[in-house]
Amino acid sequence: MAGLFDEPSVQFAKVAVERGVDNFPDGLTYGIPQRLLPLHVGQLVTVPLGRGNTPTQAWVLKISNEPPNLAQGKELKQIYEKERDMVNLPSDLIDLATWMSHYYFAPIGPTLATMLPGPVRCGTGLVTKQLVDLAENPATEVRITPKQQGVLDTLAAMPKSERPVEPAKLMKLANLGSKSPIDRLIKHGQLSCHRVTRIEATWFKQSLDATKPEQLTDEQSLALDAIGDELHDGYSSHLLFGVTGSGKTEIYIRLIEKAIAKGGVALVLVPEISLTPQTAARLMGRFPEKRIAILHSALTRSQRHQQWSLVAEGKADIVLGARSAVFAPLQNDQIRIIIVDEEHDHSFKQDNAPRYHGRDVAIRRAWMAKCPIILGSATPSMESWWNATRRKISTLNKLTTRAPGLVAPTIEVVDMRKERVHGEVGYPILSTRLKTAIHQTLATQGQVLLLLNRRGFAPWIACASRTCGWMMKCEHCDTSMVYHRKKPLEQAGYVRCHHCCTEQRVPKQCPDCSKKVIQLGAGTQRVEATLRESLQIPSEKIARLDADTTRKASDLLAMLDRFGSGEIQVLLGTQMIAKGLDFPNVRLVGIIDADTAINLPDFRASERTYQLVSQVCGRCGRGEGEATAIIQTFSPEAPAIILASKTDYETFAMDELQFRQQALVPPVTRMARFILKDHSFDLAAGRAKSLEDRLRSIGGEGIAISEAAPCVLPRLADRFRFDITVTAPTSKALQEFLSAVRKNVTPSRVITIDVDPISML
């Protein structure tokens, strides 16, 4: 009987179905027909899947010459098609994906899909060109004019490697005034025509910053020597703990210099694009002769394709990018050093599957590539601090003082409980102290940075009556609706849920008691309005930087440019402004509400608060003159706030680790979180309970399983959510437990599994 696949299979491939959620650890085997050769590991192919042989995209994991042992009567299916050769992940990334898929409990297909940027896959920006060459079997008996002969001679004289050639180039070389001799030669079969599709990549040109400090500080030299000594081949891990402005970037630059001196690539990860322009400018400025590829989502689609291809073709010396740049298309032996700047930053964790942490994947990549990795931060994550100080699996290098020329800011804490104005409802947004400081700074031509980690105008809409207690909630989530103004100085607005993005009109009166509704609390829009209305700062001098004003990356860059040039005097924003901005004229930093994270029911609430406060305070004092940071808080006695105001990270970390040890939470233990969702509360509760029972029956030494309970946000987008957390004494114990779980639990739309979760909401 003639099968569906009549061609003989010359080789055999194991593939992972891209959308597949089932874990076939070894993949599915297909035959490779001759016409698809050469086929590579890491290539995207289309295979027939299931009974209907539905064409399905899959990744090649392995290729072998040995046919598989098939069960009797089973026919080996064949790969249908392969994608363009350019759509190809380096084979070493397949190994990384295999590890990730296992570690993060995510199916391998989607994990591989995460690694290949969309624009590369879609071929965005590909250019198809027509090229010509000498025909292999040219027609004889054709009359050839002297000009045409000139073309043929020119081509024949060219080395094979430079052919085929673009007609325009050939015209020049053969001194032709028109293309018609070439066209005629093609028509008469003397020349062959080739169509070639490729990405035409160019390197970025940016304003450069070539400043090089004359001399390293003693601490910098010490750290550089200590890490530099270990830059030989082989894996090593280093934590560079340096207060903001202590010159960590300078150390990265010198380490990169050393590491790539013998060829090879430096991979540099930064948390978000707002950081990249300055870091990129500094790297480019200091490595003018090196080629720097930039990978992040704010580029245009064809730029992303171009930059990725440059890296894949081995043309880049330095690769700089955000989280997903950890998947730069490099083979292990190309990578010489990996640097993760601001390693504590939560944006390194992806919040959909695969739920990987860019820093931790980077550590694994360095281990696979046998190269050093440097994690840098002024406020290291508890995980990295634990690894460096207790587990001693990475070396600790400290920079305790700011670089010469930079002053540490004076940090003041303002107790907002004392700021209540007699006869007024609630508390003012700006304390008297902060208002005065803003005026003083602006009067002396300094710039001001204000942080409020809350978008919108007012976070709550409530009934004015004290006895009523009505508050506007999202119809689909257990969260309050946030009031947004359409324009900063207009009253008109709407309310929006920040979780499901539902928008509604604001009710005129309380639905329960018909009293008036009021707007409570403050978001960035309200601060902006206050600056204009009560501090009389002109609109054009203020900019607000949050997710609402920077939908496009170009908006963000433009805003930072205007701040850098001094056109904007007050930059106000959410945590986006806390990350690595370096503007020398910022002489005042104000934290409007340091408590936004402090009361969250999350064991990292204190760590987050310390990091945010400390990082924002570090944004000032980067130029001449004195600098002040003012922290407004309702909990001035909270250790995170007191210690951040003293820049005493080590005491904070010591106390915090002690708390984590008592509570048996990460980094002292390792955690996985199972979240169950359903449209019905009872179904979700039932599922959660039965999963809890299954997990308990698996158990294991030192494994602690929490009771299934509604999440902190029990309902989001009409789905009820329950969670179960599992902790284990070590990563190995947790992985063993998860391996056992894998045999009877599959992640799906109703079960989310988050390994090393960083958010507990």
Residues that bind ligand ADP (CB under 6 A): 211, 213, 215-217, 220, 242, 244-250, 403-406, 582
Q: Tokens in use for 324? A: 């997903």
CA 184 – CA 191 distance, rounded (Å): 9
Q: How far is CA 18 from the centre of its chain?
A: 22
CA 660 – CA 382 distance, rounded (Å): 9
Complex with ligand ADP: residue 498 or 579, whichever CB lies closer = 579
Write out the E strands in 608-662.
Answer: 628-633
Q: Which of Zn ion, ligand ADP, none binds 297 (CB below 5-8 Å, type-dependent)?
A: none
DSSP 70: P
| Contact with Zn ion (CB under 5 A) among 170, 312, 477, 755 | 477
Q: Tokens in use for 311? A: 């890296």
When asked if residue 510 is in the footprint of Zn ion (CB under 5 A), the reply is: yes
Q: How far is the CB of 521 from Zn ion (least distance, A)?
A: 18
Complex with ligand ADP: residue 250 or 754, whichever CB lies closer = 250
When asked if residue 474 is in the footprint of Zn ion (CB under 5 A), the reply is: yes
Q: Which of Zn ion, ligand ADP, none binds 512 (CB below 5-8 Å, type-dependent)?
A: Zn ion
The string of DSSP letters for 134-173 reads E-SS--SS----HHHHHHHHHHHHS-GGG-SB-HHHHHHH
Q: How far is the CB of 208 from ligand ADP (least distance, A)?
A: 13
Q: Which of Zn ion, ligand ADP, none binds 324 (CB below 5-8 Å, type-dependent)?
A: none
CA 328 – CA 319 distance, rounded (Å): 8
CA 24 – CA 47 distance, rounded (Å): 16
Percent of the chain as helix, strand, coil, to the nearest 5:
30, 25, 45
User: 529 Cβ partners below 8 Å, 6+ apart?
Assistant: 457, 485, 488, 489
Q: Tokens in use for 534? A: 């009560």
Q: How far is the CB of 278 from ligand ADP (least distance, A)?
A: 8
When asked if residue 497 is in the footprint of Zn ion (CB under 5 A), the reply is: yes
When asked if residue 517 is in the footprint of Zn ion (CB under 5 A), the reply is: no
Only one of the segments 322-330, 343-351, 502-510, 525-533 lies at the binding site for Zn ion (rule: CB under 5 A); that segment is 502-510
Q: How far is the CB of 510 from Zn ion (least distance, A)?
A: 3
Complex with ligand ADP: residue 275 or 522, whichever CB lies closer = 275
Q: Identify the three-state secondary structure at position 591.
A: strand
CA 188 – CA 9 distance, rounded (Å): 40
The DSSP H or E segment spanning 562 is helix 553-564
Q: Which of Zn ion, ligand ADP, none binds 474 (CB below 5-8 Å, type-dependent)?
A: Zn ion
* CB contact at 8 A, 641 and 633: yes
Q: How far is the CB of 87 from ligand ADP (least distance, A)?
A: 37
Q: How far is the CB of 113 from Zn ion (least distance, A)?
A: 28
Closest CA to 208 of 293, 271, 279, 295: 279
Q: Which of Zn ion, ligand ADP, none binds 216 (CB below 5-8 Å, type-dependent)?
A: ligand ADP
Q: Which of ligand ADP, Zn ion, none binds 510 (CB below 5-8 Å, type-dependent)?
A: Zn ion
Q: Which of ligand ADP, Zn ion, none binds 371 (CB below 5-8 Å, type-dependent)?
A: none
667 preceded by cis ω (within 30°)?
A: yes
Angle formed at CA 34 by CA 33 and CA 40, multiple of 5 degrees: 80
Q: Tokens in use for 75? A: 């026919």
Complex with Zn ion: residue 393 or 513, whichever CB lies closer = 513
Q: How far is the CB of 525 from Zn ion (least distance, A)?
A: 19
Q: How far is the CB of 615 from ligand ADP (least distance, A)?
A: 10
- Residues linked to residue 738 through DSSP beta bridges, in sequence order: none
Rounded-to-10 torsion of CA 243, 248, 250, 256: 180
Q: How far is the CB of 473 from Zn ion (least distance, A)?
A: 9
| Contact with Zn ion (CB under 5 A) among 407, 500, 506, 733 | 500
Complex with Zn ion: residue 195 or 505, whichever CB lies closer = 505
Q: How far is the CB of 744 from ligand ADP (least distance, A)?
A: 48
Rg of the chain on CA atoms, in Å: 30
Q: How far is the CB of 628 from ligand ADP (least distance, A)?
A: 18
494: phi then psi, degrees, rounded to nearest 5: -150, 170
Q: Which of Zn ion, ligand ADP, none binds 405 (CB below 5-8 Å, type-dependent)?
A: ligand ADP
Which residue in the block uniquely carries the two structure tokens 């805003």? 559
Q: Which of Zn ion, ligand ADP, none binds 579 (CB below 5-8 Å, type-dependent)?
A: none
Q: How many residues lie near Zn ion (CB under 5 A)?
A: 15
Q: Which of Zn ion, ligand ADP, none binds 476 (CB below 5-8 Å, type-dependent)?
A: Zn ion
Q: Which of Zn ion, ligand ADP, none binds 211 (CB below 5-8 Å, type-dependent)?
A: ligand ADP
Q: How far is the CB of 380 from ligand ADP (least distance, A)?
A: 13
Complex with ligand ADP: residue 549 or 585, whichever CB lies closer = 585
Burial of 518 (0-12, 13-18, 19+ CB in 10 A): middle
CA 22 – CA 217 distance, rounded (Å): 54
CA 419 – CA 280 distance, rounded (Å): 43
Q: How far is the CB of 482 from ligand ADP (least distance, A)?
A: 33
CA 658 – CA 600 distance, rounded (Å): 19
When asked if residue 468 is in the footprint of Zn ion (CB under 5 A), the reply is: yes
Establish how many alpha carbons lie within 13 A of residue 753's alpha carbon, considering only the half-sphere containing its beta carbon: 23
**How far is residue 667 from each of residues 236, 384, 660, 732, measured CA to CA in Å?**
20, 9, 7, 14
Q: Which of ligand ADP, Zn ion, none binds 403 (CB below 5-8 Å, type-dependent)?
A: ligand ADP
Q: Which of ligand ADP, Zn ion, none binds 735 (CB below 5-8 Å, type-dependent)?
A: none
Only one of the segments 294-302, 510-518, 598-606, 656-664 lies at the binding site for Zn ion (rule: CB under 5 A); that segment is 510-518
Complex with Zn ion: residue 21 or 464, whichever CB lies closer = 464
When asked if residue 513 is in the footprint of Zn ion (CB under 5 A), the reply is: yes
| Contact with Zn ion (CB under 5 A) among 99, 204, 460, 470 | 470
Binding positions for Zn ion, rule: CB under 5 A: 463, 465, 468, 470, 474, 476-477, 497, 499-500, 502, 510, 512-513, 515
